[in-house]
Amino acid sequence: MLDARARLLREARGWLWVILAFLFIQGTLVQARVIPSESMIKTLLVGDHVLVSRFGYDAEVPFSHLLFGHDLHATLWRTPRRQQMIVFHAPLPQQGNPDFVKRVIGLPGDTLEIRGGAVWINGKPLTEPYLADTPDPWENRKPITVPADSFFVMGDNRNNSYDSRYWGFVPRSAIVGTPLFIYLSLDAPSEAWQPGHIRERLGAYAMALVHPDHIRWRRLFVPF
């Protein structure tokens, strides 16, 4: 009886360490994300599954949502570079859609303006080879200065992106991390990747098992 109890305790301790390790990795090192919208086409497609590095950007306190009603985060030492993609908490309340993926365009202290759809930084045009299409030539925005500890972000699908042009700057404290690579990419209806659509998502995975041609094989392990 004692041996059985001792084995059970050892097994429980083993699983406890596994769970703690998982929470540590999930909260401070890497997380998985699915792209639900077209705002980052052509770089990221709807249905791309990306691994996001949180290392140096953000650390999440495990179970803080259960204890305090919201997630507690600690901002770490890294800051993103210009034209680097970042994952960040949505700047406006987005029910069921807590994170966005965009590209950093303006850094703290930059003067940014848009002339005929082209972005100018500190009086010089920004070269953007990643854009999905030619920006709207009728888009013009007056010069603005990016505040300290904030970033101006935009989508690569510039004409179909809800970004800093509409809701303002991303504070450094909102940044979760940066995408590393695509580990899976599925061609499925966009509804499958919307928050809360569990049945549609499971259906997309099941369809990929039955029809492997729904997997975009050439996009697997594409790094950023």
* CB burial readout 67-91, b (16+ within 10 A) else e: eeeeeebeeeebbbeeeebbbbbeb
DSSP annotation of 62: T
What are residue 119's DSSP bridge partners?
114
DSSP annotation of 172: G
* Residue of 39, 161, 164, 185 marked active site: 39
CA dihedral sign of residues 190, 191, 193, 194 = positive
* Residue of 102, 150, 161, 164 marked active site: 102
DSSP annotation of 194: S
Q: Is 173 in the active site?
A: no
Q: Is 39 in the active site?
A: yes
DSSP string, 102-116: EEEEE-TT-EEEEET
Active site positions, annotated: 39, 102
